[in-house]
Amino acid sequence: MSERPAFDTLILNGTVIDPAAGRNGRFDIGVTDGRIAAIEPDLSAAPAKQRINAAGLMVLPGMIDTHAHVYQHVTGRFGLNPDMVGVRSGVTTVIDQGGPSCMTIGGFRNFIVEPSATRVLCYISSYLVGGLEGHLYPDLYGPNGVNVEHTVRAARLNLDIVKGIKAHAEIGGQSRWGVEVIKLGKQISRELKLPLYIHLGQLWPTADSAPIPDPDELIRELMPIIEAGDILAHPFTRHPGGFVSETGAVHPLLLEAVHQGGLHVDVGHGSHFSFDAARRVLDAGIVPFTLGADMHGYNVQVPNSNEETDRDSNPFFGVAPFNLTIAMTELLHLGVPLEQVVAMVTSNPAKLLGMEDQLGTLQPGREADISVLKMETGRFKLSDNSGAEVISEQLLRPAFCLRAGRRFDADSFFVPDAIAA
């Protein structure tokens, strides 16, 4: 009777980049029973059922997308397939931002979280309707659409998947009800002792009956409400009410809040990425803590959708193809060091989730969540949602990932085709 192989899977010859563990170099990884069994400079002589040669590839802790929209079908065209955004794009964990609410969290667990190969978590919506194509129906998102008691109760029953609260601070909402909804979201956040994740940048149109609000006034009203540990999204948006003020400079209150107030910043790429705004924010000394892709059915092309209908009904139509690794590539092009970008999708989001003991680093005994990427060199055209284009000499692409030891190739239709310049 033959002995059982020492490992189920060996990933050999890869360059491991693991900021939390201080690893950046060639290591082999052995996986057994869905868990990391060993990380050593050389495991090539060890027996294994499956051997993967990762020479020339980057081996990372399983990537975490901090801004996803994967409540498929329930949130209309907003919700994408969680595994297409997740494991089949090289991402092992996704955080749905505001899809489920206190009324729909049960469906989210049963129809999204449990069947998915990807680990799916969420920031529960502060609104009763959750993420029901909210940019089309802003009147659903006022203070009358928030129930603090019910949201707190639903979140407490689902704390294994609920890791924060999602709310919107943007001038279309401000023109209707000021910052009352943010105050209610903060009340939910405090009662649950979970962070509040706040959308910045215009999303809804200004109310017809209201004067056009001052975007900078929104920031001034917002600052006294939020607290250390909360998250501001979309720092690189070109839309009003974001980090870049009407003067073209980064709002001084936001600078102070991030540098001294303990606030976190999440890229939330999506339809809110501008190279110009990104340079201004980075030059001001604000480096995002995490990097969420913010893909949804209105800013990526979903197969079998009707392009003509999309063009008519889609306010984000024309956004360049992107995914999490494209967002990482753009930060590299802007001068953010590779190891810092890797931390934004591994160890930093693990801290944000309070799950550093489970996610964000490669350690023996942990679940084998591993992302493997390829760094291509050449000339690659990148563009933002203003239409501005740049040429990058590097391009990150997902190759495959292991989720709890199970391999998934990066064959998602959301991984952009070649974009050589």
Give the pLDDT confidence of 163-219 residue by residue, as tens digits: 999 999 988 888 888 899 999 999 999 999 999 999 998 877 788 777 777 888 889
The answer to the question of residue 231 being in a domain is yes
- Give me the sign of the Cα torsion angle 34, 38, 39, 41: negative
Question: Are the beta carbons of 323 and 89 closer than 8 angstroms?
Answer: yes
The answer to whether residue 420 is domain-embedded is no
Do residues 116 and 148 both lie within one domain? Answer: yes
Residues 313-371 pLDDT 10s? 444 444 556 899 999 999 999 999 999 999 999 999 999 999 999 999 999 999 999 99
**CATH code for the domain of 33:** 2.30.40.10
91 is a domain residue: yes
Question: How many Å is the maximal CA-CA distance in the chain?
Answer: 81
Residue 4: pLDDT band by 50, 70, 90 thresholds? low
The secondary structure of residue 226, as a DSSP letter, is -
Name the amino acid, one letter, at 274.
Answer: S
Spatial separation of the C-alpha atoms in residues 90 and 182, rounded to whole Å: 34
Q: Is the pLDDT confidence value at 17 over 80?
A: yes
145 and 26 in a common domain: no
C-alpha 158 chain-centroid distance: 20
- Looking at the fold, whether 371 and 273 belong to one and the same domain comes out as no
Is the same domain home to 115 and 48?
Answer: no
Residue 201: the pLDDT is 86
> What pLDDT does 418 receive?
60
In contact, 296 and 71? CB cutoff 8 Å: no
* Each residue's pLDDT tens digit, 138-158: 888 999 999 999 999 999 999
Q: Binding residue per annotation — 199? A: yes
294 labeled part of a ligand binding site: yes
What is the mean pLDDT of the segment spanning 119-123? 98
CATH number for the domain harbouring residue 90: 3.20.20.140
| pLDDT tier, 119 (very low <50, low <70, confident <90, very high otherwise) | very high
Q: How many domains does the chain have?
A: 2
* Domain contains 419: no
- Strand duo 370-383 + 58-61: pairing: antiparallel
Average pLDDT, integer, range 276-296: 95
User: What pLDDT, in 10s, does the model give residues 215-267?
Assistant: 888 899 999 999 999 999 999 998 888 899 888 899 998 999 898 889 999 99
Domain closes at, from 335, 353, 371: 353
Residues 233, 344, single domain; the answer is: yes
Share of the chain above pLDDT 90, in %: 73
pLDDT score recorded for residue 350: 98
Identify the domain boundary among 320, 336, 353: 353
pLDDT of residue 205: 79
**256-254-176-155 Cα dihedral, nearest 10 degrees:** -80
User: Is 13 inside a domain boundary?
Assistant: yes
The three-class DSSP label of residue 351 is helix
User: Do 213 and 309 belong to one domain?
Assistant: yes
Q: Is the pTM of this model over 0.85?
A: yes
> What pLDDT is attached to residue 2?
52
Domain boundary among 336, 353, 370: 353
Shared domain for 56 and 91, answered yes or no, is no
Structural domain of residue 34, as residue ranges? 7-60+362-409
Q: Which letter does DSSP use for residue 110 in this model?
A: I
Residue 416: inside a domain, yes or no? no
pLDDT at site 309? 46
Same domain, 301 and 372: no
| DSSP bridge partners of 233 | 199, 266
The answer to whether residues 276 and 239 touch, using CB atoms and an 8 Å cutoff, is no
- Alpha helices (H) in 142-251, listed in sequence order: 148-156, 171-177, 180-192, 215-222
Pair (248, 378) in one structural domain: no
Asked whether residue 196 falls in the same domain as residue 323, the answer is yes
The average confidence (pLDDT) of the chain is 91
The answer to whether 67 is annotated as binding is yes
In this structure, the answer to whether residues 27 and 117 fall within a common structural domain is no
Asked if residue 417 belongs to a domain, the reply is: no
Any idea which residue has 């919506």 for tokens? 125
In this predicted structure, what is the pLDDT of residue 134? 66
In whole angstroms, give the CA distance from residue 137 to residue 25. 50
Please indicate, yes or no, whether residues 56 and 69 belong to a single structural domain of this protein. no
Residue 211 lies in a domain: yes
